[in-house]
Amino acid sequence: MKIIKTVFFILSGLSFLAAQYYFREDFSTNIQGLAARGWLTNYRYGKTGYLYLTENLSGDDGGNDCGQDGTTAQKYTEQFISNGCIVHRGSPNFVRNSFSGLLAGNQIKYINHGSSWNASPATPVGVQVLRRYAWLDPVTSCKWGGGGSASPRQNCDAGLWLFVDEDPAPYTNSPQVFINGYKELIYFYERAHAKEPDRSVADTRSRWGYYLGANNDLTIDKLSRPNGSLLDLTAARPNFPTGLRWRYVDENSGYANTNTIGQRITHDGNKVRLYINPNPVNQAWNSYPNEWCLLAEIAVAWNSNLTFMIGAEAFRFDQERCDADFDNVLLRSVSAGTGYYKYEKQLNLKWNRTEYTLSPRLKEHNAGIGEIELVWPGSIKRSQFKKIIVFSDFKKNGSLHQHKTVYNKERPDPGEILVSFYSRKIKLRFCQHSDSIHNVVTAATPCRQIRIIFQYKRGLQQVKPQVYVNCEKYAATGYSRYATTGRQLCSPAEDYVRSVP
């Protein structure tokens, strides 16, 4: 037994080495400097593909010099760095009516990813960005009332894209060149209309959703928080008069949204998940929790050679602005791979005892293990378990120490393990109070093992749980090095099961 364990831990460092991701961009340079950091700027990409439209003031404008006579705020698209943000201003679909109806965009695309960003349950990919400012006004002043009634056709959006980076075609910045788009992509957007089809102009608000071959607007009144409870992002709050469904059209008393909003996309190899954090920097006036709340889960058939881009797009030539400022792009894995060893023992006719020993491989930039999930294929009941005990080196002295098991707390304190039961899983959370007060198992932890012992009713023996590790942000936690990828599947070592007759 000891020999097997020893061999396991010697090999664990190698056998569980998996892809890990780390990328951070704080835009602490100028727009020219972004190229050296792996960014392609002023990338004229929208949902309908690559389309480069020039600033042609005398072109086909549908008979209206809309925006060019100083009467409106419409201007041509541009990107620049300001206050540590990548700033998008103006409209990439500009003046030329011939291209109206094609979603023309302007993005910054990360191109320095190599071919290593491949998503799987054991190597999930996840990227998040903070949006500091947005003003998505799809109607120019001269088109409000004078150039046709407000309608859904006037719309624009901004957001975060995740896609398979197969160049659709060699592109050039030649005017009016149109190239079909990426075949495998998802775009997580906030979109504004001049008028929604089933609402009055005055009642029209922005929509959050995703594009997967077509726009899918989503309701945002029941997002899942990390603890499983629901959050309504539509109700009025201080500085959010209409929640996160913003009113942007200035002719309709709209204005810019200056609240910082977080957007995250994760991909576990099979499913893409979209998250909104309504208060990612703990703004004082913002009463929303600083948490990444699940908005949607979408199955996809692609998972390799991934990258992302950020930007905005406009649907028509006569739109005023699709302005957005983005900051703090972050991609951080939980670990570089985590394996586990399982030891099972039959205690008596009713109860079994299982011991999991997790052996994570952790790098400096990994988030570390802040929580563990045991997920069963079917439903479980709390009464099927007793004596859940967790050991880790939370004293940072190279030995494993038993945590105090607690239940029904908002957050565990140092030395505690918070056990939460869900319909199909058990979640075990370590303390994550702050960067200085936490029990997260990181690269700096002297003994990077975690041991979990629990007794369960024998009927459960037939269905083995999958083991995941994660390091998630909760409203009540202040540990800042959390993961952006979502939970990471652990790899089982050779199961060693000994039954006592």
Partner 1 sequence: MYITKWCLGIIGIIVFSVLFSQGSLYYYEDFSNPVTVSNWEWPLKYGLDGLIYPPDSDSTLQISGGTLNMSGRAQYAGSWDFNGFFCGRAARLTNTYNAGEYHPFGFTVRRGQTQTHTPNGFYWDWNILAIWLVQAHTNIIMQEGHAPFAKFTYFYFFYEREGGNTDTAGFGSYNGSWADIDMTSRTNYSGHVENFTHADAPFKGWHDYGTNGQNTNEALFMLTHNGSAVSIYMNPNPDDRTGFTYRNEFYLLARNNIAYKSNLQLMIGHMNNTGSDDGFRTASAVYDDLTIRSVASGINYYRKKINNGYEMVVKPAFTDSDAGIGEIIFHSPCINDFHLTAVKTEAGDKTNNGSIASLTRTDKRCPRQGYYYLRRSEKKLVVKFCQRSDRVNDVIAYNTLNKTIRLQYKHRPDSGLNKTLKVYAACRKYAGEDYTRISTTGPMRMRRVERPACCALLDQDLKK
| Residues in touch with partner 1 (CB under 8 A) | 49, 98-102, 148-149, 151-153, 178, 180-185, 196-198, 212-217, 270, 298-302, 315-316
Name which of 178 and 351 has its Cβ closer to partner 1.
178
Three-class secondary structure of residue 345 per DSSP = strand
Name which of 70 and 213 has its Cβ closer to partner 1.
213
Is 266 within 8 Å of 273 (Cβ atoms)?
yes
Q: Considering only CA atoms, which of 264, 269, 273 is closest in space to residue 297?
A: 273
Minimum CB–partner distance for residue 448 and partner 1 (Å): 35
3-state percent breakdown (helix, strand, coil) of the chain, nearest 5: 5, 40, 55
How many CA atoms are closer than 13 Å to the CA of 259, on its beta-carbon side? Answer: 27
Indicate the DSSP class of residue 401. Answer: E
Q: Please report where in the chains the tokens 């990107």 appear, as a residue.
A: 79
Name which of 151 and 384 has its Cβ closer to partner 1.
151
Name which of 175 and 238 has its Cβ closer to partner 1.
175
Name which of 298 and 389 has its Cβ closer to partner 1.
298
Name which of 317 and 326 has its Cβ closer to partner 1.
317
Tell me the C-alpha to C-alpha distance, in Å, between residue 335 and each of 332, 363, 485. Answer: 9, 7, 10
Minimum CB–partner distance for residue 46 and partner 1 (Å): 12
Displacement of CA 186 from its chain's centroid (Å): 12
Minimum CB–partner distance for residue 180 and partner 1 (Å): 6
Distance CA 86, CA 7 (A): 50
Minimum CB–partner distance for residue 198 and partner 1 (Å): 5
Minimum CB–partner distance for residue 435 and partner 1 (Å): 38
Distance CA 362, CA 369 (A): 9
CB atoms within 10 A of CB 235: 11
Minimum CB–partner distance for residue 216 and partner 1 (Å): 6
Name which of 300 and 447 has its Cβ closer to partner 1.
300
The torsion angles phi and psi of 10, rounded to 5 degrees, stand at -65, -40
Q: Considering only CA atoms, which of 501, 498, 494, 499 is closest in space to residue 357?
A: 494
Minimum CB–partner distance for residue 207 and partner 1 (Å): 9
Minimum CB–partner distance for residue 58 and partner 1 (Å): 19
Is 104 within 8 Å of 318 (Cβ atoms)?
no
Is 473 within 8 Å of 281 (Cβ atoms)?
no
Name which of 97 and 242 has its Cβ closer to partner 1.
97
Determine the length of the chain: 501
